Copies of this chain bind each other. A is one copy, B any other.
């Protein structure tokens, strides 16, 4: 799956982990993980996936774009609701297969109307309201 780690390609691994070049490592579906946090509070708002086009459009427009696995299509968060995510900062992880977007959300991020998609805590096998 992680074909870039095959063949003992230590130079590529080093470039990816220590270099200053953006070398996104998409998985076998062409996707990487994207975590959205509120730039003001640090709260995790949502988790989604990006393909190369979603990443490029996010960088170009400073508005978060993702790849929908269920719809198999590119989407801009807020394109229908208006609740766009203005990107303040983007971070990439060590092996460049995950991105953190620190954003200023225009409204609730979750389609349920919640501020964050993570509105429930796992508590002894049950889910309880995590709102504070």
Contacts and interface: CB of A to CB of B under 8 A. Distances in A.
Interface string A89-132: 11111110011100000000011101001111110011110100
B93 A111 contact: no
Nearest to A38: B42
A10 interface: no
Interface in A51-101: 59, 69-70, 72, 89-95, 98-100
A120 to B, nearest CB: 6
Given A35-B44, A44-B35, A19 B127 contact: yes
B118 A93 contact: yes
B121 A89 contact: yes
B37 A125 contact: no
6 contacts: A2-B69, A91-B121, A92-B121, A94-B111, A94-B119, A98-B117
